[in-house]
Amino acid sequence: MPASQPRSRARDRNNVLNRAEFLSLNQPLKGNQESRSSGRKQSGQAGAAGAQSTNPKERRQSQQLPEEDCMQLNPSFKGIAFNSLLAIDICMSKRLGVCANRASSWGGARSMINLLGITGHGIPWIAGTLICLVKSSTLAGQEVLMNLLLALLLDIMIVAGLQKLAKRKGPYDITPGLLDYLTMDTYAFPAGHASRVAMLSKFFLNHLVLAIPLRILLVLWALCVGFSRVMIGRHHITDVLSGFVFGYLQFRLVELIWMSSNTCQMLISIW
């Protein structure tokens, strides 16, 4: 025992941490502990006071927030299906936009595709119908032309109204042309060219006597004009398909409100 005590004292002397300048490392700071404990107590008291001061409505809202978050993170099956179809539509429309700009794969054919699209514009059709109406001398021809003019005007107004409601942009950022602004065809949904050519082809098939080759060419013309708008990047595929549907519905509407020969003659006399 007497020999072990000097050894332990020698170890304490040789231990660097026992020196005066290092004593603070071995002993915990009482002031910090007291400040931390007092801070915890104050924060706990403030939290308890805040919890007591909250209204029952706020508690209910805080309890409902996780449920709302769960509902947003877990959409319905219809929402998932709709978003998936929308993503497929955008992806396929961008891939089929082969003439969207000069740098595209078919950029050299853009002018020809635009020329095909002009055949589906409303302004040339309205101007041509008015010229034919002035030169027509038969009552049957004037009746058909007057109803065709009515169908063209209804198509412009209906498509413009639907586009203003939907305000859907095309797959590519392409500025509409002058004829597009004149016919108010500035948005993507529904495609105005598609609705117009569908209505015109159905109108001509019903009210004109055409040979079978001409009837086939008329249908092919309507399809080519409609999908040419996808190729130049102005519309999505669903915009064109919905345009075909709206064009058929417009034809049915014109058939319901078909103007008789007497009505057409009265309008022509006023004009």
Per the annotation, the verdict on 193 as an active-site residue is yes
Catalytic residue among 121, 207, 235, 236: 235
Closest CA to 207 of 263, 267, 140, 130: 140
In whole angstroms, give the CA distance from residue 174 to residue 158: 23
The answer to whether 213 and 148 have CB atoms below 8 angstroms apart is: no
pLDDT tens digits along 122-180: 889 999 999 999 898 889 889 999 999 999 999 999 999 999 999 888 888 777 777 78
Confidence at residue 81, expressed as pLDDT on a 0 to 100 scale? 82
Boundaries of every domain in the chain: 109-270
Whole-model pTM over 0.75: no
pLDDT tens digits along 178-220: 778 877 888 889 999 999 999 999 999 999 888 999 999 999 9
The answer to whether 133 and 255 have CB atoms below 8 angstroms apart is: no
- φ and ψ at residue 234, rounded to 5 degrees: -90, -25
